[in-house]
Amino acid sequence: MKHQIKNFLLAAGLFCSINIQAQNQVHQQFMTPPPALGTSYNTAIGLRGGETSGLTIKHFFGGSAAIEGIIGLWHHGFTLTALYENHTSAFGVAGLNWYYGAGGHFSARTNNSYYGWGHRRNDYYDNDNFGLGVDGIVGLEFKIPQVPVALSLDLKPFIEVISNGRIYGSLDPGIGVKFTL
């Protein structure tokens, strides 16, 4: 009986040791800032101007991978976009990175006007319609050294199917400015 208890305690100790090491590796992978990319930040919050204009938040998880969310407003409508992005150094310049990725969005048109000028997207929507779409993104981002600001220029093409049966697409070029944390 003592031999079985001794073996059980030894196996439990070994299991706990392996589990603690694995947890430390996961914690280091997901909580460490991106390495040597010049991004030097984990999270950024800012604004994007383009067809999808609005509030944006980007968060890095594990090296060069990031997720970005955009809450966009357009005349009589809004969009919720989620993107998965990969970042890579551009031209060997510190703080300058290419990024590319894909994701999706939900859009809706309401009777409320968020700003006062016309928008081509309105031609495809009727009141109270919604759309689901797929998005791509490719861009260039510059994190200004020693200043908590990142500037971006991107192309975010998308296509969406609207609940009234119409299909809408756009190249959606944009510029952005983000405060980095």
135 forms bridges with which residues in the sheet?
A: 103, 158
User: Domains of the chain: which residue ranges?
Assistant: 1-30, 43-180
Average pLDDT over residues 82-90: 96
pLDDT of 149 over the 50 cut? yes
For residues 86 and 163, give the distance between their C-alpha atoms in angstroms, rounded to a whole number.
32
Of 3-7, 78-82, 118-122, 131-135, minimum mean pLDDT range: 3-7
Q: Which residues contact 55 (CB under 8 A, 6 or more apart)?
A: 45, 46, 47, 70, 71
* Burial letters 112-139, b for 16+ CB under 10 A, else e: eeeeeeeeebeebbeeebbbebebbbeb
For residues 64 and 143, give the distance between their C-alpha atoms in angstroms, rounded to a whole number.
14
Return the pLDDT at 32. Answer: 44
- Give the CATH fold of the 43-180 domain: Porin (2.40.160)
Polymer length of the chain:
181
Say whether 87 sits in a helix, a strand or coil: strand
The residue that leads in pLDDT, 126 or 138, is 138
φ, ψ for residue 31, nearest 5 deg: -110, -10
Q: pLDDT exceeding 70 applies to what percent of the chain?
A: 72
Nearest Cα neighbor of 69 from 156, 151, 142 is: 156
Q: How confident is the model at residue 152 (pLDDT cuts 50, 70, 90)?
A: very high
For residues 42 and 32, give the distance between their C-alpha atoms in angstroms, rounded to a whole number.
8
Return the pLDDT at 26. Answer: 46
Say whether 124 sits in a helix, a strand or coil: helix
pLDDT of 75 over the 50 cut? yes
162 burial via Cβ count (<10 Å: 0-12, 13-18, 19+): buried
Cα–Cα–Cα angle for 125, 131, 133, rounded to 5 degrees? 130
**Global confidence as pTM:** 0.75
